[in-house]
Structure 1
C-alpha cells in the first residue's frame, strides 16, 4: 500500500471547496447545489432550446435567439412564477 494516496471519505466538495472548512457542511452543500443549478443550461421560453445562461442576478439570456428576460436569482423560472403564468394562461383562455 506504499505510495497510494488516501481519498477523501464521503466528501463531495465541488464549487464550494473554496470555502474550506468554514461555514459548516450544510451551508457549503446548499451553495454547491445553487451554483450547480445556476451555471447549468436551461430551456429557452421562446425557442425551446437548452441555451439559456445566467447573465447576472435574475437576468437570463438565450445564446441562440438572444432573448433576454428576468427570472429568479438562481433559476430562470421560480415555482411562484410558474403558478402565476399558469393562472394568467387560464384567465386568457376564459376570455378568448
Structure 2
C-alpha cells in the first residue's frame, strides 16, 4: 500500500504554533496577529520608505535613513500617538 503525504487541515497556525494546544485558541490567534504586525516593515515618519523595523520594545529604526524613534510596543505609531501629534500640530499652527 503506497503511503500518501497528508495535507494540513484547517488554518495555518503561523508563529503561535510553537505553543501547541496550550493557552487557548483566541490567545494564540491574538499572539499571531501581534507578531505578524510587529515583524512587518512599516513606513518611516522621516523618509516615507517602508524600511522601519522593531529593534526592541517601543524602539523602532529605519534601515534606509537610520532614524531611530520611540513608538508603541508592537506598532511604530499608536492611535493615541496620532491624536497627540494632531493636537500638537494644531497648537503650533495657532501660535505661528
Q: TM-score range by the shorter chain?
A: over 0.9
TM-score by length of 1: 0.93
Match of 2:79 in 1: 79
Counterparts of 1:90 and 1:77 in 2: how far apart (Å)? 19
Q: Deviation per CA, 1:1-40: give whole Å up to 9, x if none.
A: x633333332220000000000000000000000000000
User: Is the partner of 2:47 in helix, strand or coil?
Assistant: coil
Give the aligned CA root-mean-square deviation in angstroms: 1.1
Is 1:45 the counterpart of 2:45? The answer is: yes
TM-score by length of 2: 0.93
User: Is the partner of 1:17 in helix, strand or coil?
Assistant: helix
Counterparts of 1:21 and 1:11 in 2: how far apart (Å)? 14
How many pairs align? 95
> What residue ranges of structure 1 are gaps of 5+ in the alignment?
none
> What residue ranges of structure 2 are gaps of 5+ in the alignment?
none
Match of 2:35 in 1: 35
After the TM superposition, which segments of 4 or more aligned residues of structure 1 sit over 6 Å from their partners? Answer: none
